[in-house]
Structure 1
Amino acid sequence: MQTAFFIDGYNVFYGLLAGTPYKWLDLPALLGAVVHENDPLSQVAEIHYFTSPVQPSLATRGRQSKQAQDTYVRALKARGVAVHWGRHRLDHRKAPRFVSRDVPASREDQVDIWNLEEKETDVRIGIAMYRMAAKHCWRGECDDQVQQVVLVSGDTDMTPALEAIREDFPHLRVGIIVPHRNDRERKPPGSLQKHADWMRRYILPEELEAHQLPVRVHTRKKPADKPDYW
């Protein structure tokens, strides 16, 4: 079963990789292993990775963080991953002041903040998935290039897109891989599961460790070397 993957890079980083030594993740290898576990006949056909550029002025390591992201993207491209760039928006907002967990938030006590928000990623992923379905599934069946799409995200904003795909292309198999670690207690996104044939709720640390890229990934130009602090 030929499978196309659609990855929310922000969701993967903060839900699965942040705070671990496994950021140099070999996504094609990991996803291939997970989907093969679900169905041994499944094969990786395409992988689409959606992300937005790191903002150096707001990143923990400044320009180093942006360089690390760019290096990782080059490594992914060398592994055949299609990378789609989005954007961030930085806005001035007000938010309730944090006092302690014992003190509830109050609209009467607000402070000025900068709010960094990734824009349009869920919409771009939804459109890309729907277009993929429309291209390969018609007249009640799917061609031999793609028979399954897998969303790698736990964002419930993707629910309307999955619902539309299920309604319009019932012969297309839909899977979901939630990029969460099993050491965190999180409720599975039920609205996503409702519109999927199967769902993997977490990724094990052993799986992350077993599916790392080589320290040096050769590309058509300069090699992509794993950042020292990763």
Structure 2
Amino acid sequence: MPDSKKSSGKTAVYIDGYNLYYGRLRGTEFKWLDLVQLFQSLLAQRDQSESLEKVIFFTAPALATFATHGESSVNAQAAYHRALEAVYGEQVEIVRGKHAYDRNGALLPAYIEGQPYDRNNRIRVWKLEEKKTDVNLAIRMYRDACKERYDRVVLVSNDSDAEPVLSALREDFPNLMIGIVSPVRPPVLGADIHRRTSQSLAKYAHWTVTHLTDDQLSAAQLPDKVKTNKKPILRPAHWVEVVG
């Protein structure tokens, strides 16, 4: 367990933005999420004298061609990032990767219900991939640990690709406390349709939050109008709707 070196509780939160969006925010009215407020609240509930020093948000710019609302989606994402930076300054850092796709389409095996996999039956599909996010997040967590910037770190992801960096952190920095927040919906009573916390990540954590509730997300929203030295940043109108 952490020794007296950990008494300050300086904490950084590392967010896989793609995982947060598709795991919990897509199709909800909670996209205008105040990341600092949300995680300050979660840390306060733990009552461990933890101080949220930094939120590092790993994401990639949306592509209008593939976005539900085209250019409006691109503008909405950009507005959100600017709003976070306007409200919190250097406390929030946005690390951008990129999206990539094959302009000729990817040739993949077709899925036909009731029939076995047939590698010779292929169709061309659009395949959009987010690049660099996993690597950027892992490198940043490890480098911050090497520089002893924080006493505690929180990973917001349910992607098992983060397992190697968590394993390395536990082995190389035994005094570093690790938390995991799974950006998934709460379990549905009488059904098994929710995503579960990745056990490959949880096994390296000192503590976990297994889901985020609507109440938690609703209580942590940025103002509809974020003031700046210039034109205010407005919450995108289509983000109020419950759509993708």
The CA distance in 2 between the partners of 1:105 and 1:7, in whole Å, is 35
Q: Work out whether residues 3 and 43 of structure 1, in 8 Å CA contact, stay in contact via their aligned partners in 2.
A: yes
Instruction: From 141, 147, 161, give the equivalent of 1:135.
Output: 147
The correspondence for 1:118, drawn from 111, 116, 130, is: 130
CA distance in 1 between counterparts of 2:17 and 2:233 reads: 18
Whole-angstrom CA distance in 2 between matches of 1:60 and 1:103: 32
**What corresponds to 1:85 in structure 2?**
96
Task: Name the residue aligned to 1:157.
Answer: 161
- Say if 1:28 and 1:79, in contact at 8 Å, map to a contact too: no
Q: CA RMSD in A?
A: 1.5
Gaps of 5+ in 2: 1-8, 240-244
Q: TM-score, normalised by structure 1?
A: 0.91
Decide whether the 8 Å contact of 1:8 with 1:121 is kept in 2.
yes
> Is 1:42–2:50 an aligned residue pair?
yes
Q: Identify the match of residue 11 of structure 1 among 9, 19, 23.
A: 19
The range that moved more, 164-173 or 219-228, is 219-228
Give the match's secondary structure for 2:147: helix
Residue equivalent to 1:201: 210
Is residue 154–residue 180 contact of structure 2 (8 Å, CA) maintained in 1?
yes
Within the candidate set 199, 218, 223, 1:214 is matched to 223
In the alignment, structure 1 residue 24 sits paired with structure 2 residue 32: yes
% same residue? 42
Secondary structure at the aligned position of 1:23 is classed as: coil
Offset at 1:108? 3.5
Asked if 2 retains the 8 angstrom alpha-carbon contact of 1:74 and 1:219, the reply is: no
1:168 Cα deviation after fit: 0.9
1:140 paired residue number: none
1:71 has 2:71 as partner:
no
C-alpha separation in 2, matches of 1:124 and 1:103? 39
Alpha-carbon distance between aligned partners in 2 of 1:163 and 1:97, rounded to the nearest angstrom: 36
- Contact kept? 1:9, 1:50, Cα under 8 Å: yes
Aligned 8 A contact 1:159 1:191 in 2: yes
Tell me the SS of whatever aligns to 1:229. helix
Q: For residues 157-213 of structure 1, what are the alpha-carbon distances to aligned partners after superposition, in whole Å with 9 as ceiling and x for unaligned?
A: 011011111111111111111111114522321111111111111001111111111
The alignment partner of 1:59 has SS state of: coil
Which of 181, 184, 190 is 1:180 aligned to? 184
- 1:223 counterpart = 2:232: yes
- Structure 1 ranges of 4+ moved more than 6 A: none
Partner of 2:3: none
Contact 1:8 1:49 in 2 (8 A): yes
CA shift at 1:215, angstroms?
0.3
> 214-223 vs 147-156, which deviates more?
214-223
Kindly provide the amino acid, as one letter, of the partner of residue 18 in structure 1: R
Number of matched residues? 221
Instruction: Compute the displacement of 1:105 (Å).
Output: 4.7
Is contact 1:32–1:44 with CA below 8 Å preserved after alignment?
yes
Deviation at 1:26, TM superposition (A): 0.7
Match of 1:96 in 2: 109
Where does structure 1 lack aligned partners over 5 or more consecutive residues? 137-144
More divergent stretch after superposition (46-55 vs 180-189) = 180-189
